[in-house]
Each structure stands twice: as C-alpha cells, then as structure tokens.
Amino acid sequence: MRTVDWDYKTGKLLLIDQRKLPGIYQVNEYQNYQDVIEAIQTMVVRGAPAIGVTAAYTIALCGFESKAGVYDELVVDLTRCASDLQKARPTAVNLGWAIHRMLSYIKKNEETDTDKLRIAILGEAQRIADEDVVTNLAIANYGSKLINDGDTILHHCNTGALAAVDWGTALGVIRKAHEDGKRIHVLVDETRPRLQGSRLTAWELAQYKIPYDIITDNAAGYFLSRKMVHKVFFGADRVASNGDVVNKIGTYMLALAAFDNGIPAYAVMPTSTIDSSISRGDLIPIEERPSNEVLNIQVGGEKVVPEGSSARNPAFDITPNRLLTAIVTEKGVLHPPFAESIRSIL
Amino acid sequence: MRTVDWDYKTGKLLLIDQRKLPGIYQVNEYQNYQDVIEAIQTMVVRGAPAIGVTAAYTIALCGFESKAGVYDELVVDLTRCASDLQKARPTAVNLGWAIHRMLSYIKKNEETDTDKLRIAILGEAQRIADEDVVTNLAIANYGSKLINDGDTILHHCNTGALAAVDWGTALGVIRKAHEDGKRIHVLVDETRPRLQGSRLTAWELAQYKIPYDIITDNAAGYFLSRKMVHKVFFGADRVASNGDVVNKIGTYMLALAAFDNGIPAYAVMPTSTIDSSISRGDLIPIEERPSNEVLNIQVGGEKVVPEGSSARNPAFDITPNRLLTAIVTEKGVLHPPFAESIRSIL
C-alpha cells in the first residue's frame, strides 16, 4: 500500500506506523484530525512529502468531521484545522504548501453545496497524493541517470516510499537505477537520533533487494576519504531560493565531507519543497525535538546514558549550496549557480 | 581508584570495567595475561594511554605467571606475551610504545636474578603508570590555558580519567579549566557506535560537576555553524610525524565542520602517541571492529535494525593536520607547521 492513503470504504486516513518498522508493519486508521496532528508530531508519519500529503487528507477529514451546513461555517472549521496542522512541525515546507493549496481550492469553490464540497476537497487531496507519485517518478527518472553501474552510494536518513506516498526522493532515484539494471551498493548511515537510516532505509532496500551495509553517521567521513563512495544522495525538508538545503540533522557534515573529498553530493526533492520566499538556509526555522530521542538509546536492554543527563536535539541542519553538486527535481537536474537554476524552473 | 591499577596485596591487575558504566561501577581483577588481552579486545579497558599502561602491567603479570628459573627462559615467555599483546588492537600506538619500553628495560637488566627481575619489571610498569598521570597533568596545565571563562566546548569520544590512568587528555584539559574556576559548558557527542561520549564522558563530567548536554554526532555541525561552540577538543590514538591525527571514528567530520566555521579544534595527547616512524595519517592501519557494535542498538527494548542486515565498522578515522588549530602535549602546545613543531619536541 501507499505510506499515506485514504480508505474510501470507511472514510478513514491510513498511515503506515513508521515508529514500529522494521519490527512490525502496522497501518493506523484515523478519523479525527487532532489524532493525525499527534501522529505527525510523534512521527508515525515523517518525511517532507509524506507530511504534505497527510496534511491534505487531514483537511478532507476535517471537512467530514465538521457539522457545518453552510459554506462559511465549513470554512471556519477547515481554517481552524489548517492552522492547527500548520503548527504540527515547523521545518518541512511541504506541510504549509499542501495546506495552502487545499485552502486555495476551498476558496475557489465557494458556490458548491457543502456536501459536494466535502467530497471535492477529498478529491483535491487525492490529486495531491497522486501527483506526488507522478512527481517522484519524474525525479527518479532524472536522478537515476546520475548513477553509474557499479556505484557505491552513501545515503542519509530515509527518503524512500516511506517518506512520500510511494517511491520517495533520493531513495527513489537509487531504486530506479537498480530497476534499470545498474549494480549498486548502498552505505546506509543510521541517522541518529531516530535511526531512519538503519530502521527504514535498510528495510526498504531489503524489500527492493538492493545490497547495503549500515554504517554509523560518524563513519561516513572515513569511507569518503578512502574514496570507497562514488556519490552521496539525500533529500530535503525545505530549500531556500539560493539552493541552501535544510534536511535531517547530519546532512551538513556529510555534504561537507563529500565536498572535502571531491565526491558529488546530490539533494533530491520535489519543487514543492523549495520555499522561494526564503532567500537563505539560515533563515529557515529549525525544529528542536524532545531530548528523550537522544537519551533513550539502549544496548543489551540497558539504558546507556547516565541518569539525570540532559540533551539538545535539533532535528535538521543547513547545508550551504556551495557543497552541492546538483539538485534533482521533477523538472530536471539543477546545477550551480542555484539561485539562477532554481528561478528558471519555478 | 585509577582506571588501570596494580593490587600489590594480591598481585592482580585491576581494571574498571568500562563496558558496564555508567550503570554499574565494577572493578575486574586479572591474574593471567590472556584474560587481559581479551579485556583489551572487548574494551573492558579502552583509550590509547590506558591501553598502553595496561600492556605494561600485563608484561609484569606475565613475568609472575612464568615458571622460568633463568633469564633466557623468562625472556622467551615475556616476548611471547609481548607479541600476543601487540596484536590485541592495531591502531593505538601507545600499546606498542609501552611494550617496547618494557622489553628495552628487560634487555638492560640481563644480570638481575629472575625473581628480583620480576619485581623490577613490575616497578617499570608502575613507573609508566605514574608517569602517565604526571604527563596528563602537564597536558592539562598547557591545554587549560586555551579555554576561556564562559566557553562552550564540544568534545568527542572519551578522553578522560577512564581513557588513561587518571585525568586523561582532552577531558583532563577541560577538567583542569573547571578546577581553575572557569565556567564551562560541554556538548558531549554520543560517539557511535560504542557511545563513549554519552556513557563515559557524561559520567565523568557528572562526577566533576561540569555542566553538559549530550548531542548526537550528527548534531555537531549544527551547533558549530550556529557559533554555539567556542572550541572543539578530542584525543588521539596515533599521530603521524606530520601531525595527521588518527582518532575515534567521527573525529574527521567534526574537525572539518569546526574548520568550516572558523572554530578552533585541538587534538590532545601525550607525546608517546606520536609515531615518528609514520609520515602521514593515511598510512596508519585502521581497525575494523565487529559489525554487532553497530547493529545491536535498541530503543524501547527492541532491536531497530532489520534482521539480516550487515554493517561496516571502522573504529578510527584520519584527521588531516590542515584541520587542526594546535596539538596539545605534555611538552607544550604545538602549532602549524606541525611536521616542524613535532620534530622540535621529540
């Protein structure tokens, strides 16, 4: 199934519970929007594109939840839902992008009967989900041409089907190259603190039968400096108009080490991840998540961190555009200077 | 007590079992040298200086174990022990340095009665241990002058008392600055895969009442780029004659991110860690440790890595001298060009 989907029989939103993978494959059902907001915050669903599509469906869910009989009342309910959703996570722009598109759609359909409008809103959410798959396939087609037979690829976080509706971004590129018959080996960095690499990317690669080894985030520099990696791929949660990439914590040091060793580093995302209203990466808000995500690590069933320790846990960092070889989107592969190449496709 | 110590009442070698900290403080006793080799390999004891002193005491232990009645037979036994010890771990040079010093001492005392020689060998090991403390205090005195009141310091791995006999290297510098009354905050990176940061450094800092926050290794770049760190400190397992530093995996990316943000990075070690026979860091052998160290991570009592996954686990990486602001030793603070400043003190 899709990572994020709508069950038309029951009118429920379905999310693969990504906190339980790879041990347990469980699909959660949602029928009220507050529960979805909590699911976004606790990372049942994560990955910028997946969060965007989830938000779109959640507006539809909110429409069905609302008791409003007239357009204006329905808009009040939907706007409150949109505003609560917007606050769920601050960094990824796809959330705001999907909410904005849904509200614009609702605004354009003022004349519609509210019951018909509820269904039409679901239709728009469905279009966003379907377009996400088409977009990701276009990304995969462009990006896979960058991969050669025999490449070893270092990949950060999870950017696969689980981060989107299907296919995903950077991992979709790798999957497409594999399906095209290229022999690829992937170094999967574990991506502390939430281990999206060793939990989710490793799980996806195993499904696709792509060979991989897990490494600690610390080990990336070693493999890069020994030239045992040909290319580095990662996704993005928000991209500034100059091409600075805000992505999962650790991306900056990884891109820096790739650059220091002359190894190409590619950021992969749909153009909906580009926030043309923000000129530089350091102006993008960075979410700091609960310290427990760092402190709850165990080995052999034992907590390893001393009692009473505190932690800092920024979830994202900023990779300056100077460290990127290219940016891969559904509209093509963008090269430096990125301010220009980004402007040309928006 | 000391991290590595000799119990004169029982004739046993004592090691704090660092695999059990911070949960359990346990001192293991050793009376045969094969067990100590296993303790080194399984990291009951770790840290380049601590491994060196452990090796010295182990030669003494081997002397008492040997049934030899004449010098030549004793030397055969001690040489076999030394050769086995040498293979215990390949990267840290202090191991080889201590063994070499012990064998030289034995060679110089050919005339001594074997029973007296056994005790004299223990005396030499004890001198190495005591000198380690004196050396570390000298390092701490030089290094602490680099720290200002109010500094936030990012520290990698464990380089404290637990990595030596007492005090340690980089963490000894921080401890000395704290004891001198400077207000310091430490960002402790967890240091995957064995978590020497969040397990051992956090535990030591708590003992010394130095305030700290734990961060993931991935987060270092974020705090450096936001200029929330004033200095970066780490130790070394082997230093080439040009100043390239081989240290715990992750050091290279950390030093690179410090350099990229103009934040000083200091490598701290006794001069016994400098291997003047090796001209560049990339010629130093890098130990690859069991993949289970990467794969055995748990959260909430559950293994998080998919069954059947493999991992690569290099234990060290190479930080090129161009990324270092200075090298701190017991003979003073060395500045670039390091080939020259190192030559001047050896």
- ipTM for the whole complex: 0.95
Q: Which residues contact A83 (CB under 8 A, 6 or more apart)?
A: none
Q: How far is B77 from B68, CA to CA, in rounded Å?
A: 8
R_g (Cα) of chain B, nearest Å: 20
Which residue has 């009951």 as its token pair?
A: B44
Kindly determine whether residue A306 and residue B212, on different chains, have CB atoms separated by under 8 Å.
no
Q: How far is A258 from A263, CA to CA, in rounded Å?
A: 5
CA-CA distances (angstroms) from residue B34 to A77, A152, B31, B44, B119? Answer: 73, 40, 9, 14, 20
Kindly determine whether residue B249 and residue A216, on different chains, have CB atoms separated by under 8 Å.
yes
Q: How far is A260 from chain B (nearest CA, A)?
A: 8
Q: How far is A194 from chain B (nearest CA, A)?
A: 9
Residue A122, SS3 per DSSP: helix
**Among B69, B142, B90, B13, which residue's Cα sits nearest to residue B316?**
B90
Q: CA quadruple A142, A148, A153, A158: dihedral positive or negative?
A: positive
Task: Tell me the pLDDT tens digit for each residue of A166-178.
Answer: 999 999 999 999 9
- Chain B CB within 8 Å of residue A103 CB: no
- Chain A CB within 8 Å of residue B42 CB: no
CA-CA distances (angstroms) from residue A336 to A240, A272, A327? Answer: 14, 19, 9
Please answer whether residues B312 and B281 qualify as being in contact, where contact means their C-beta atoms are separated by less than 8 angstroms: no
Please answer whether residues A249 and A319 qualify as being in contact, where contact means their C-beta atoms are separated by less than 8 angstroms: no
**Among A201, A208, A179, which residue's Cα sits nearest to residue A47?**
A201
* CA-CA-CA-CA dihedral for A112, A117, A119, A120, to nearest 10: 70
Q: Which amino acid is at B299?
A: V
Kindly determine whether residue B304 and residue A199, on different chains, have CB atoms separated by under 8 Å.
yes
Strand partners, B16: B27
How many cross-chain Cβ pairs, A to B, lie less than 8 Å apart?
211
Tokens of residue A110, six digits: 């003022």
DSSP 8-state symbol, A2:
-
Residue A292, SS3 per DSSP: helix
H/E stretch holding B254: helix B251-260
Q: How far is B126 from A84, CA to CA, in rounded Å?
A: 67
| B237 catalytic residue (yes or no) | yes
Strand partners, B185: B152
pLDDT in single tens digits along all 346 residues of chain B? 899 999 999 999 999 999 999 999 999 999 999 999 999 999 999 999 999 999 999 999 999 999 999 999 999 999 999 999 999 998 889 999 999 999 999 999 988 899 999 999 999 999 999 999 999 999 999 999 999 999 999 999 999 999 999 999 999 999 999 999 999 999 999 999 999 999 999 999 999 999 999 999 999 999 999 999 999 999 999 999 999 999 999 999 999 999 999 999 999 999 999 999 999 999 999 999 999 999 999 988 888 999 999 999 999 999 999 999 999 999 999 999 999 999 999 8
Kindly determine whether residue A218 and residue B294, on different chains, have CB atoms separated by under 8 Å.
no
